[in-house]
Amino acid sequence: MSGRIAVVTGAGSGIGRAVSIALARRGYGVVLAGRKVDTLRETARLVDAAGGRSLIVPTDVTDPQAVSDLFDQAVGQFGRVDLLFNNAGTNIAPQPIEDLSFDAWRRVIDVNLSGAFLCLQAAFRAMKDQTPRGGRIINNGSISAHSPRPDSTPYTASKHAITGLTKCASLDGRKYDIACGQIDIGNASTDMAAAMTAGVRQANGSIAAEPVMDVARIGEAIAYMDSLPLDANVQFMTIMATKMPFVGRG
């Protein structure tokens, strides 16, 4: 795995940062994409300290030109792209469907789905033309790609759509030696999931605290998925806090 080149979106914090560090420990060059330069710089410091090589590219994944520039810089600096971790995402506070504004809906869909598509498309263009040809794309789905939380329409819809994007890319990538899989994550210990330990609304209307897992486990999972040769693929992986209320009825 040493010497491989990864593009990680949403790399400034949380899951993106944890994955970047895990890859750096295995000798990757990591292209760090995100909107906030300060947080990307902190991730870059951690990547370099872990033994990797970093390149910061401030990127709005909803902007086609910015995404094109991201991959141009990645290839220009490192010569190729072996892995895209398609991780950038956003959410809004829970809102009933009938109260949801179109702007709020579009904001989530633009980042979580259209942004993921633009990055995947740019990765396809880079990977099919490089030598050796091919690479791996891992889309960040979510437990919400399987089952919704209350009042989570735009987020859940976007993550269900990511599953369709993953399947199409997996099929269409075959002729270019591009493997595409998806990781569905439940309750990793990030700032976004901090509310879980304080208590969140359940399907029956009750409020309950939920267990979380160390976000470093996500980095290890991504590193494993990318450790396989391109003739093997983890199509879907679900990794979650063991005791979170997902399997069964709570």
Alpha helical stretches, state H, the chain: 14-24, 37-49, 64-78, 102-109, 116-129, 153-172, 194-198, 216-227
Asked whether the beta carbons of 123 and 135 are under 8 A apart, the reply is yes
Rg of the chain's alpha carbons, rounded to an integer? 17
Taking residue 123's Cβ as centre, other Cβ atoms within 10 Å add up to 26
What are the CA-CA distances from residue 76 to residues 69, 81, 246 (Å)? 10, 10, 43
- The active-site residue, picked from 28, 155, 176, 224, is 155
- Is 176 among the residues known to form the active site? no
Sequence-distant (6+) residues with CB within 8 A of 204 are none
Sequence-distant (6+) residues with CB within 8 A of 14 are 188, 190, 191, 192, 215
For residue 138, the Cα-to-chain-centroid distance in whole angstroms is 7
Q: Hey, which residues are catalytic here?
A: 155
